[in-house]
Structure 1
Amino acid sequence: MAGDTVRVVDEGESLPFTVSDCADRPGYDRILLVRPTHFDVTYEINPYMGGDVNRERAIEQWRTLRDAYDRYADVAVLDPDDSWRRLDTGGGETTATAEPARPAAHPDLVFAANLGVPTADGDGFVLASMATEERQGEPAYLETWATDAGYEIFDAPAGTFEGAGDALWHPGNRLLWGGYGVRTDRAVYDDLADRLDVPVLVLELTDDRYYHLDVCLTPLDETTALIQPEAFTDDGLARIEAVFETVLEIPVEESREGMAGNAHCVDGEHVLLPAGNSETEAILRDAGYEPVPVETGEFEKAGGSVFCLSLELGTLD
């Protein structure tokens, strides 16, 4: 689907196409992680934030996550200090609207998913525009890193847009899922549909506990999704169930207490998810997937886990 047929489809509208109508999209085989050099919890912008961070434990958990990803994908690492030095010395032109502050002022920079969304072919990024003042300087770090790495960079759409935290690619297809209502504005998806030349299925989020789509929807493959139903409206649930042949439901307690919805199926088989969610692990295993639990407790104090800490990339020629 392209050109005049590209459009944003709201929850209550009839679906004018099927997934099989959408063009194929290459799978991403690189994962970007941001080194947690300055990670901390110094403010509260979601219901989960609070508690003292054990910095040594956080670094060890991040290394464990990096090693887990490294088994299934090529892992790239953004070093906040290196990126800041380039920004501070004018080492590269940027198009980000906000002046970046020193990395210590961005303790949430480690949550790479929010910095932007990759293009359909994985050779570029549309930058994010953060909803909260505390995070507004973060996308410039992705811009600097990605420019150096050879990726094409596109300005953020007008309005608030929190990257792959709310904009999720449907596995294997040029089809985007777009969450809105808590952090991201609904209007940005009209822009993204045109720019990325893909249809977008938007889902309204009305509960602050599910402030991003990536904490309540994990597309596992083209036909299967892992979700937390209480995050969605009735129309939103109906949309998900109409598109995915199989919908696996996360126990509410494991969503609220263990961030089980912030998982990542890296290859259609292995699902990295926060450790301690035994019921969700069993649900995945019974459905034919291999759960890979990873301890992310220190990062959960800031309201993020596996998927929040990663950003998918295409491999450049």
Structure 2
Amino acid sequence: MTSVSVHARKATRRHYLMCRPDHFEVSYAINPWMNPDKPVDAGLALLQWESLYYLYKSLGHRVDLVNPVPGLPDMVFSANGATVVDGKVLGAKFLHTERAAEAPAHRAWFRANGFTEIHDPLYVNEGEGDFAVTDSWILAGRGFRCTPEGHQEAQEFFGRPVISLELVDPRFYHLDTALCVLDGDEVMYYPQAFSAGSRALLARLFPDALLVDQEDADVLGLNAVSDGLNVMLPEAAQKLAGQLRERGFRTHGTDLSELLKGGGSVKCCTQELRF
């Protein structure tokens, strides 16, 4: 385990996959954040998404785009479409039928872009929604979407140790709403989103983790992306931004309030392609 240092932060160039919110709307409810009766401003959603896209580009990261598919409003949340580690692609298998067609659309993109090791899963997993990759482990959420069998399938496919973590609050239905990898084996998380046993496990694995309070968790402050130096996070998570700066990170507050109506923010819109 790596001790926290505020002197050695370094950004590394990342490769992301995003999807324009051309068809974004909230027409059904499959998580507590979604309310079909609450209007969505599609134009504003696109502008907010573009601000994140161009921020990544300005920081030197590569951003590829998967084409949005009509009738799949949640495809903008590209993190859910797959998990990529060592160039190997574990496809998604969605729990809800409303999102099921997103999985083959993502796999088609990977096949068309030169990826050769692509696994079509047997068990439910929703990509990086429930898989977070550190230097030493793949952390995996369960309780609302991904299943223990999905965790085992990921471990067999990637050949990396998968650590299962139990989520207990339906507002934090995916791991990426309750935990974020900052750099290496350094993470931040909201303890109350996890079962007692999982909290104890996290404390043992990550004794220097940044613990986030309810106020910042409630605005999906943990649905963030870090390149090792720059942390992109919801701008409403002000206290968390200050904590990150104290640890030597540079923070970039991002307004994705329209997309939050679908239950996602920065990380949900960002899949990382790891080679």
Q: TM-score, normalised by structure 2?
A: 0.91
Distance 1:314 1:238 in 2: 29
Say whether 1:113 aligns with 2:113. no
CA contact (8 A) 1:177 1:202 kept: yes
CA contact (8 A) 2:233 2:252 kept: yes
CA contact (8 A) 2:123 2:153 kept: no
Tell me the residue number matched to 1:47: 32
Tell me the residue number matched to 1:217: 179
Q: How does 1:1-317 map to 2 (within 5 A)?
A: 29-50=14-35, 51-70=38-57, 71-80=59-68, 103-119=69-85, 121=86, 123-170=87-134, 172-173=135-136, 175-256=137-218, 258-266=219-227, 268-314=228-274
**Matched residue of 2:267: which SS?**
coil
Question: Residue type of the partner of 1:111?
Answer: F
CA contact (8 A) 1:129 1:139 kept: yes
The gaps in structure 1 that reach 5 residues or longer are 1-17, 20-26, 81-102
Question: Residue type of the partner of 1:34?
Answer: C
Distance 1:137 1:162 in 2: 12
Distance 1:145 1:223 in 2: 30
**Matched residue of 1:183: which SS?**
coil
Q: Deviations over 1:99-129 (max 9, x none)?
A: xxxx22110011011111102x1x2311000
- Which structure: larger Rg? 1
Distance 1:113 1:30 in 2: 13
CA contact (8 A) 1:28 1:312 kept: no
**Matched residue of 1:177: which SS?**
strand
Tell me the residue number matched to 1:22: none
Offset at 1:73? 1.1
Distance 1:260 1:305 in 2: 8
Question: Residue type of the partner of 1:60?
Answer: L
Offset at 1:159? 2.0
**Matched residue of 2:204: which SS?**
helix
Offset at 1:219? 1.3
Offset at 1:277? 1.4
CA contact (8 A) 2:13 2:60 kept: no
Offset at 1:28? 7.1
Distance 2:40 2:99 in 1: 18
Please give the root-mean-square deviation of Cα atoms over the aligned residues, in Å. 1.6
**Matched residue of 1:108: which SS?**
helix
CA contact (8 A) 1:29 1:74 kept: yes
Distance 2:263 2:117 in 1: 27
Distance 2:52 2:158 in 1: 30
Q: Deviations over 1:229-276 (max 9, x none)?
A: 1101122112112112412122202212x110101112x111100112
**Matched residue of 1:53: which SS?**
coil
Offset at 1:187? 1.3
Offset at 1:153? 4.6
Question: Residue type of the partner of 1:310?
Answer: T
Offset at 1:154? 2.5
Q: TM-score, normalised by structure 1?
A: 0.79
